[in-house]
Amino acid sequence: MSATTRLPDGFEEAFDQLFGRAFRVARRILGDDAAAEDVAAETMARAYAHWAKIAHEPWREGWVVRVASNHALDVVRKRSRLSDAVVEGSVEADDVALRLALAEALAVLPRRQREVVVLRHLGGLSEAECADALRVSKGAVKTHLHRGLGALRNRLGPVMNVEVSASNG
């Protein structure tokens, strides 16, 4: 950047924390540091472009987590289209298969359920932070989280060797 280029107010101070949050979410989805760093960098470029709108909002961190998770899921979908077969039997192949199954299961959830599950469990946001990020009530977050996790349990139970029960687990 040249000496005359000026970052928007507060962007530089917030960058490290927001980049770290975006990286961690992407890393959990992708399982690959280099790809997660690419996703986090793209997320921060988008944050920079929208900084005037998001800079002082209480949901700024949630916005970054949502953008990073959506971008990471796009990367997973592109990867699955590029590689038709996964080598069976290796730990790495099992990890890739599990991540692909998770990405596919998340992709079929209704948008709001997917957003809540990703923000809460992959992004590590509290229910209140999710509510702020999505501009909904905490009750709505709890409802969408319960429904989304139930749908994921039903879909991934056999893949993850998890017993699915009728309880509120």
| Residue 84 within any structural domain of the chain | yes
For residues 23-52, b (16+ Cβ closer than 10 Å) or e, as one string? bbbbbbbbebeebbbbbbebbbebbeeebe
| Residue 167 within any structural domain of the chain | no
pLDDT tens, residue order, the chain (169 aa): 444 556 668 899 999 999 999 999 898 888 889 999 999 999 999 999 999 999 988 889 989 998 998 888 888 777 766 554 444 444 455 666 777 778 888 888 898 998 898 888 877 888 988 888 888 899 999 999 999 989 988 888 755 544 333 333 3
Write the CATH number for 70. 1.10.10.10
| Residue 169 within any structural domain of the chain | no
| Residue 69 within any structural domain of the chain | yes
| Residue 4 within any structural domain of the chain | no
Domain containing 154 equals: 11-160
**What is the distance between the alpha carbons of residues 11 and 46, in angstroms, rounded to a whole number?**
12
Contacts of 122 (CB under 8 A, 6+ apart): 25, 28, 29, 65, 69
Q: What is the pTM of this model?
A: 0.61
Q: Count CB neighbours of 112 within 10 A.
A: 16
Contact between 132 and 62 (Cβ < 8 Å): yes
